[in-house]
Structure 1
């Protein structure tokens, strides 16, 4: 797909995000911006938000650094056109900057199309029944 941009979320993007995910939490308002550990990236085509990825960076003494993907949503009209793939690439760039050991999809009920997408992106099911992409950073 040509012509969409991926960038950090701005407050003006909230309406577009809620249109994509009406079940989304209003905690999105405070989720991003100055906190580097929690972010939302949006895919924008013209003036419309056509997708977003919400993630959190975990780091601590008791576990390896990880980037947890909490939500990845793409407008149904734009699925299969590379929007989700590009959002995932941008999340992986963030992971590389933080020297992250793995990316994990935080979801318990995977739809068949999600499983196909995650496998195409290089994720595998881990022991916790979550899709994970380990040690892709060399």
Structure 2
């Protein structure tokens, strides 16, 4: 196994969308996925992505975009970090996370932010080991179906 972390290309969008669906299944939320491959192509200027590849197969991803927080300024928001189940425990998530930290530093971001479900203990432990502070004080507020 030789894992390569690389910037995603347009050709990777179908595989990335497949990983998004796998993540949604893991999080018991496949019915909430309204995105599509076509929509991702149409909106590709609004996100960035790195993929983890093993012998040409995309086995993981970190999908992110830049945001601005009034209290700190420019930040990198890591929307999804996902590795296929068969490849977990092989430090691939750590490699993707390191790439996100490198990108945030290179882009002069003042924060790297992500969300994690409160029941996802393996992810919470991974993020804590990566140095993240888990904030218990804030709640997500979404207005859906615009």
Q: Structure 2 length as normaliser, TM-score? A: 0.74
TM alignment of 1:68-107, pairs within 5 A: 68-107=77-116
Q: Structure 1 length as normaliser, TM-score? A: 0.77
Q: Whose helix fraction is larger, Structure 1's or Structure 2's?
A: 2
**What corresponds to 1:122 in structure 2?**
131
Q: Whose strand fraction is larger, Structure 1's or Structure 2's?
A: 1
- Report how many aligned residue pairs link the two structures: 125
Q: Secondary structure at the match of 1:106?
A: coil
Runs of 4+ in 1 over 3 A off after TM superposition: 106-110
The answer for unaligned runs of 5 or more in structure 1 is: 131-138
Bigger CA drift: 102-111 or 71-80? 102-111
Q: Compute the displacement of 1:109 (Å).
A: 4.6
**What corresponds to 1:21 in structure 2?**
20
Retained in 1: the 8 A contact 2:6–2:52?
A: yes
Are 1:56 and 2:34 an aligned pair?
A: no
